[in-house]
């Protein structure tokens, strides 16, 4: 299972990718089986979204939204998070000696 503490710390420095709040972001792992989540097993660290505590809680166990909508919001936040990591220089593609 892929784990990367530096990646988690970088994500925690981004604003919430749902509401825009800065300063209290968490690296929220996917809760979907398709992303590697299992009973007692977190999804890999590359399946994360930058979310504040409130948005993270709402997506994980909120009752205000239907499950499908929570999945859609997490997917959108994940895409924005990965994009922001590249845009801000936290992630880059390196040459590989093939």
Kindly report which listed range (1-15, 29-43, 73-87) carries the lowest average pLDDT score.
29-43
What mean pLDDT comes out for the span 70-93?
94
Q: Whole domain around residue 26: which residue ranges?
A: 5-87
Our count of domains for the chain comes to 1
Give per-residue pLDDT as tens, 2-31.
888 999 999 999 999 999 999 999 999 887
Domain assignment present for residue 98? The answer is no
Domain assignment present for residue 15? The answer is yes
| DSSP string over the chain | ----HHHHHHHHTSPPTTT---S-EEEEEP--GGGT-BTTBPPPTTSEEEEEHHHHHHHHH-SSS-HHHHHHHHHHHHHHHHHHHHHTTS--------
* pLDDT computed for residue 9 by the predictor: 94
* pLDDT computed for residue 14 by the predictor: 97
pLDDT at 86 over 80: yes
pLDDT at 36 over 70: no
């Amino acid at each position: 299972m892929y784990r990367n503490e530096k990646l988690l710390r970088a994500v925690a420095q981004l604003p919430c990718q749902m509401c825009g709040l800065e300063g209290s972001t968490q690296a929220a792992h996917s809760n979907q089986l398709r992303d590697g989540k299992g009973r007692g097993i977190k999804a890999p660290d590359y399946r994360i979204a930058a979310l504040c505590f409130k948005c993270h809680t709402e997506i994980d166990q909120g009752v205000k939204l239907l499950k499908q909508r929570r999945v859609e919001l997490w997917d959108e936040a994940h895409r924005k998070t990965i994009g922001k990591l590249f845009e801000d220089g936290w992630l880059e593609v390196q040459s590989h000696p093939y």
